[in-house]
Amino acid sequence: MGGMEVGVSGGGVAVVVVHAVTIKILIRKTNREYIIFFIGSFSFNKHKHYNPAMLSISVQAGGQSSRMGEDKALKTFLGRPLIQRVVERLAPIADELIVTTNRPDDYRFLNLRLFSDIKPDRGALGGLYTAIASATHPVVGVIACDMPFASSTLIETMNKLLVKEEADVVIAKSDEGYEPLHAVYRRETCLPAIESAIAADQWKVIAWFPQVKVRVLTLEEIKSADPEGLAFWNVNTPEEFAKAEKLATAQSAPGRGRD
């Protein structure tokens, strides 16, 4: 918890300093013990620094890939499986990185912990439950495996907002709806809410949102972290896949930063 300093004056008044908190106490000595009375008040630094909570990243490798004609997570994207690209983009910010899949043997090459559905046959909501429940840290970033431009900067922004504003979910929303597979969740509060929704035979992936505090990103917050607007793009067809590869190649050109 950091350092502590204790000073006792001749009158028996002590000042205890822990971080930015100052506490005045009165110490009265009896025969064998000290009795401590709180007589002061807390004083805090007015400029709070909101550090992001420990972050798990859970990459979801589910779905049928019916329009792609093959498993898009394993389809080669610029020389490596697409899911490996997603993992590599998010690894720098992850205190823990896991993958949820019902075909774990196909993904052992990632050398990550793999988890199958905890609540089988419950669709996207069951998948989200598995992604959050399988993580160990207080905040979980859930990312789809078919997002070649998944943004670590955006996830970091979401994490900081979740801590600062004491939200349970930080998520983007467009005209097409919420983006639950590129969002962050507070594990402690979201799990019971999702469990209740599943028990009530609800299927929508956001059916439980009314039970928690949801913070929707503003357009300005999204543009600041994802100026090219590609983070939420998921590739579903061979044509989209090829287009994404071209964009990624352009991004990796000299002077453009990482792909």
69 and 14, same structural domain? no
33 and 61, same structural domain? no
- Give the pTM: 0.79
Q: By residue range, what is the domain housing residue 205?
A: 55-251
200 and 107, same structural domain? yes
With respect to residue 50, please indicate whether it lies within any of the assigned structural domains: no
**Tens digit of each residue's pLDDT (9 = 90 or more) over 112-137:** 999 999 999 999 999 999 999 999 99
30 and 81, same structural domain? no
Distances (CA, A) of 164 to 112, 120, 134, 159: 30, 35, 25, 9
With respect to residue 240, please indicate whether it lies within any of the assigned structural domains: yes
**Which of 180, 151, 184 is closest to 168 using CA atoms?**
184
With respect to residue 48, please indicate whether it lies within any of the assigned structural domains: no
Question: Cα(89)–Cα(21) distance, rounded to whole angstroms?
Answer: 38
Cα-Cα end-to-end distance for the chain: 39
Question: Cα(110)–Cα(99) distance, rounded to whole angstroms?
Answer: 9
What's the CATH code of the domain at 122?
Answer: 3.90.550.10
13 and 138, same structural domain? no
Neighbours of 102 (CB within 10 A): 14
Q: Which uninterrupted H or E stretch holds 241?
A: helix 238-251
60 and 29, same structural domain? no
With respect to residue 79, please indicate whether it lies within any of the assigned structural domains: yes
With respect to residue 23, please indicate whether it lies within any of the assigned structural domains: yes
With respect to residue 259, please indicate whether it lies within any of the assigned structural domains: no
Question: Cα(185)–Cα(198) distance, rounded to whole angstroms?
Answer: 17
Tens-level pLDDT at each residue, the chain (259 residues) = 444 444 444 444 344 434 334 333 344 444 444 444 433 443 334 444 556 779 999 999 976 666 786 889 999 999 999 999 999 999 999 999 999 999 999 999 999 999 999 999 999 999 999 999 999 999 999 999 999 999 999 999 999 999 999 999 999 998 889 999 999 999 999 999 999 999 999 999 999 999 999 999 999 999 999 999 999 999 999 999 999 999 999 987 765 555 4
Q: How many domains does the chain have?
A: 2
Tokens (6 digits) for 229 = 């607007």
117 and 236, same structural domain? yes
DSSP-derived secondary structure for 173-207 = EETTEE-TTEEEEEHHHHHHHHHHHHHTT---TTT
Question: Cα(218)–Cα(240) distance, rounded to whole angstroms?
Answer: 27
The 3-state DSSP class for residue 151 equals coil
64 and 29, same structural domain? no
